[in-house]
A and B are shown apart, each in its own frame.
Chain A
Amino acid sequence: MWALAASFAAMNAHADVVVIVSVRNPITHLTPRNVSNIFLGKVNEFPDGGKAVSIDQAEGSVIRNEFYSRVVNKTASQMTAYWAKAIFSGDSFPPQRLENAAAVVKFVASNPSAIGYVDKSDVNNEVKVILEP
């Protein structure tokens, strides 16, 4: 298991972003599509029907850029345009933004509906990784 994690870390020199939920969340695995839908505000629940609240990280951070490019497949400016449009003409809201990974882990750990992304190294036992892109 370590070996796997190590090799993974070795492969991603910059950061190793993972998607996490509370360990109390029954979800064990989500596809990148499921995750991007939730983060683009397109759906508000998990595939099993549980409520989903997405947590974003600060704009311009490496991890945020890593996440959107790997999971949602969009650059940071693309995301800005997307949300500008969604804000004025649409009904969805952009995800809640927290200052750092620790805050994200804490929030996710305490909220079974929350879903966030952090560097792999920030994961603790109160959260579980449901996607490793």
Chain B
Amino acid sequence: MPQQVKKLTGFSLTWKLLLVPVVAAIGFAIYLIYSSMVLSDGNALLKEIRDADFPILYAAEKNLGTQNNIIEALNTAASAGEAEFLDIAREKAEEIRARYEELNRIDTTHKKEIEKLKREFDDYFSQASDVARLMTYKKEVPDTAQLMKMRAARDLYLSDALQFRNDAEKEFHVTVSKAIERSERAQESGAAIGAVMLLVIVTLTILVTRGIMALEKGVADRNIMLAEMNKELEGEIRKLKAAEEARSHAEAASQIKDEFLANMSHELRTPMNAVIGLSHLCMQTEMSRKQHDYLQKIHRSAKSLLGILNDILDISKIEAGKLEMDQTPFDLEEVMSNLATIVSNKSHEKNIEFLQETALNVPSSLIGDPLRLSQVLINLAGNAVKFTDQGEVIVRVEFEGEAEGVVALRFTIEDTGIGMSEKEISRLFQPFTQADSSITRKFGGTGLGLTISKRLVEMMGGNIWVESTLGAGSKFIFTAHFHKAEKQVTHVQQLSKDLRSLRVLAVDDSESSLHILKSYLESFTFEVTLAGSGVDALQAVKRANEEGKPFALVILDWKMPEMDGIELSRRLREMHGMTLQPKILLISAYGQNEMAQQTDRRVVDGMLAKPFQQSKLFDSITQLFRRDESQTGRFKIAGAQFDPELVSRIRGARLLLVEDNEINQQVAQELLESFGVRVVIAGNGEEAISILNEGKFDGVLMDMQMPVMDGVTATREIRKNPKFATLPIIALTANVMVSEQNEFIDAGMNDHIGKPIDPDRMVATLAKWVYPARMGEVTQPPKKTATAASMPLPDLPGINVAESVRRIGGKVAIYYSLLGMFRSKEHDVVTRIREAWQMGDSKTAERLAHTLKGTAGTLGAETLQSQAGILENCFKDKIADDIDGHLEQLERELSLFNASIDRAIEARNSG
């Protein structure tokens, strides 16, 4: 453990260290100031003493001396009788007087004494000089009395003068000793302050030294601690490095394993295809029941084995990090529609309801990987159907949130199946496990589906979890993130005014279904009434009629207990006294065409396959109410209005169209020629190259999937010739995934046009790339770029004829000829696909499905188009699971379409 380092408390170290010099400096300054003050005081005193030099003492001393002189002078005068000495004595006396005068002036404190002294001196001197004069001049000794008097004056004066002198001397001594005392005191106090300063500085120094020592100890402790930590960290790093090494070893091993697995799965698939295909073929031959039973078991086992292999391949791809999420624009509605098509087959077989509800605020145009989303949805919905024996399976899509153009969607797959216990749920997403091993035995499956789904969901930025109660159904919920496309396609168009606030009755025995219907219908501004059974519905209609608010539309479910949809429709039609005959829309889990076969057109006005999307419901309803128009008069399609400026730019160009499919050849050719473009056709890439070398072209329209040589290969070959370096090559493709687009561009293509061809887009793209060089050559412009359809549109149930005709420039005749061509070319396409598939040639199968998708799209056969698309994806992604089912469904759809075409052509010929 790293030891704790004791933090130094209190002031910061800097302040503490600063304190020493600061205090020392202040102290020293005080000391200097004080000592200089003391010194100057002492000096002043000394100066005072020096300057004073005690005039009193001096004068007193001097006077005493002069006094002696006077006596001597008087002595001499008296003894020798010399009068000059009297004068001398007088002079000396004057000296003394002068001194006293002077003293009196300078020393005011002793005025009295001085005056007295002076008086006494005068007294003495006058007597003494009398005596002296007497003795000098008269040679007489004065009598004793006179002498005694003189002596007394003399002694008084002398004693006082002496006293004065002594006092002065004493004063002098006192002053000096006072000065000395003061000086000594100053010295003492200076020393005391100095000592205190010294003490303070020493104390501070000790404190700071202690602080520094503590700091050094702290630093040393910290260093030790750091060293320890360093050691620990190094240990950690070594451990991490070891772990990293171990991990990279493991990763490398796992990488090798995954690659091996991927290869193995791939290698296993080829023989599996042979087993499945051949056992299927074998079952067509004549054999004993036992043999047939064996073969069927082989076939089924092989199929399930293939399914397992596919799952393993997926898992390996994911684990090896080879699975990449596409980022391509897609339509969520399409995904949901595909899901409906695929899953409703099974749910129908098991006689359970399969419903979809997409919340209205969910954006439909997204960017992401639609195939992977489909895979997860198909897996989860497929499981739900698998584990549900009665009731319903509902797929809900809800909007979770949006941030910076990324939307989070929540998908809920709810069933009323067997459910799961907590324990089972906890094991659910582990690879190779299912809720219960007995379940595997009962229901089959690898248990990889959920693991794959989980990984895919995570790759889509989401989560997956389960809410379930044993015996009461399960809810699989997952979230996923998608970018929102800049332009949102609104599937639900504006309602025509007369349809607003339409009164609608929805009839279904399933509450969920009614709930979905209600929410969709209300979003169309309709007034919705719900009925849970046929009896209720009849009553509701009756009541509404009586109240004068009759229903304009009744939407009813086919499969209902007691009274089914068909029966209810009949009863509704037979009702008397109706002020308004409601339109009837029948909803069923069966395919539309299947329903059409079984129901009388006179009983119901329209049909809608379940599950449906909001837009499908909308379309169906608007179609119901539009039919009136198409029946009363021939409604005309306004020919597409092309931008004349753009059309003029491509007019006269010569293009090479490379396309193997004859229908598509015709569509493109007709369209291009209507713009005044001359078209030469090549059937495949090889042909295209040879034709290009023969003549001059302004551009190439290249299909992608063709026999002999595909579009990408052909483009690469063409680009090899420097002559064609700048030749515009435009891809014609139904594949609009980002990765594939990149492939086109890599191959040297300039642009691409999606199939089915949108004329506007075609014109715009061509105008951009193909600018005819030959200026002088102007071809005859077509009389009209927009033509009005003068003949009735063929009546093809479930086919979007109007849109399709618009795409080919509004030429109904061409549409008819395309129908005929489709009839003759594609009638056996499913058989061809199946053969190719069973022979293990998935490439061809994929191409055929792709072509079918394109032509069906061109003709407006949307169901057929989407079916073919699903198959194409199955082949492409090697999802072998449901191919047979899809093929059957496609076959059904195709035969219905073919029959419709026959009828339409017949009607036209006769009409």
Contacts and interface: CB of A to CB of B under 8 A. Distances in A.
Residue of B128, B135, B141 most packed against chain A (CB within 10 A):
B141
A88 interface: yes
Given A93-B147, A94-B141, A96-B144, A87 B80 contact: no
Contacts of B135: 80, 84, 87
Contacts of B71: 88-89
A87 B147 contact: yes
Given A80-B79, A81-B79, A96-B144, A88 B128 contact: yes
A88 B146 CA distance: 12
Interface in B137-184: 139, 141-142, 144, 147-148, 151
B131 interface: yes
Contacts of B80: 81
Interface string B741-782: 000000000000000000000000000000000000000000
A88 B144 contact: no
Interface string A58-99: 010000000000000000000011111101110101101100
A65 to B, nearest CB: 15
Contacts of B74: 88
B338 interface: no
B78 interface: yes
Nearest to A59: B139
A88 B131 contact: yes
Residue of B79, B132, B144, B148 most packed against chain A (CB within 10 A):
B79
B151 A80 contact: no
A80 B131 contact: no
Given A87-B147, A93-B144, A80 B75 contact: no
B151 A91 contact: yes
B157 to A, nearest CB: 13
Interface in B581-605: none
Nearest to B132: A88
A96 B145 CA distance: 11
Nearest to B155: A91
B147 A80 contact: no
A68 to B, nearest CB: 14
A85 B79 contact: yes
Contacts of B79: 80-82, 84-85
B225 to A, nearest CB: 105
A93 B149 CA distance: 12
A78 to B, nearest CB: 9
Contacts, number: 38
A contact face: mostly helix, strand, loop, or mixed: helix
B243 to A, nearest CB: 131
Nearest to B128: A88
Interface in A10-58: none
Contacts of A91: 151
Residue of A84, A88, A93 most packed against chain B (CB within 10 A):
A88
Contacts of B131: 87-88
A107 to B, nearest CB: 15
Nearest to A93: B144
Contact of A88 (B75, B139, B148): B75
Nearest to B144: A93
A81 B75 CA distance: 8
Nearest to B78: A84
Contacts of A94: 141, 144
A91 B155 CA distance: 10
Nearest to B135: A84
Contacts of A80: 79, 135, 139
A84 B139 contact: no
A49 B748 CA distance: 175
A94 B148 CA distance: 11
A110 to B, nearest CB: 19
A80 B147 CA distance: 15
B144 A87 contact: no
A125 to B, nearest CB: 30
Given A59-B139, A80-B139, A85 B144 contact: no
Interface string B217-253: 0000000000000000000000000000000000000
B141 A88 contact: no
Contacts of B144: 93-94, 96
Interface in A92-119: 93-94, 96-97
A121 to B, nearest CB: 28
B74 to A, nearest CB: 5
A84 B128 CA distance: 11
B75 A85 contact: yes
A84 B75 contact: yes
Interface string B107-131: 0000000000000000000001001
Contacts of B148: 93
Interface in B69-85: 71, 74-75, 78-80
A80 B78 CA distance: 8
A93 B79 CA distance: 15
Nearest to B80: A81
A62 B152 CA distance: 35
B50 to A, nearest CB: 37
A105 B142 CA distance: 23
A89 B75 contact: yes
B141 A83 contact: yes
Contacts of B139: 59, 80
Contacts of B141: 83, 87, 94, 97
Interface string B827-864: 00000000000000000000000000000000000000
A59 B80 CA distance: 16
Contacts of A97: 141
Contacts of A89: 71, 75
Interface string B811-838: 0000000000000000000000000000
Contacts of B78: 84-85, 87-88
Contacts of A83: 141
A96 B142 CA distance: 11
A82 B141 CA distance: 11
Contacts of A59: 139
A58 to B, nearest CB: 11
Contacts of A93: 144, 147-148
Contacts of B142: 87
A111 to B, nearest CB: 16
A94 B78 CA distance: 14
Interface string B40-80: 00000000000000000000000000000001001100111
B881 to A, nearest CB: 167
A87 B142 CA distance: 9
B148 to A, nearest CB: 8
A44 to B, nearest CB: 13
A122 B132 CA distance: 35
Residue of B75, B128, B148 most packed against chain A (CB within 10 A):
B75
A81 B85 CA distance: 14
B707 to A, nearest CB: 176
A76 to B, nearest CB: 10
B705 to A, nearest CB: 169
Contacts of B132: 88
B149 to A, nearest CB: 12
Contacts of B147: 87, 93
A91 B74 CA distance: 16
A20 to B, nearest CB: 22
B67 to A, nearest CB: 11
13 contacts: A80-B79, A80-B135, A81-B80, A83-B141, A84-B78, A87-B142, A88-B74, A88-B128, A88-B132, A89-B75, A91-B151, A94-B141, A97-B141
Given A59-B139, A93-B144, 9 more contacts: A80-B79, A81-B80, A84-B78, A84-B135, A87-B135, A87-B142, A88-B78, A88-B132, A91-B151
Q: Which 9 A-B pairs have the closest CB atoms?
A: A84-B78, A84-B79, A81-B79, A88-B74, A94-B141, A93-B144, A88-B71, A85-B75, A88-B75
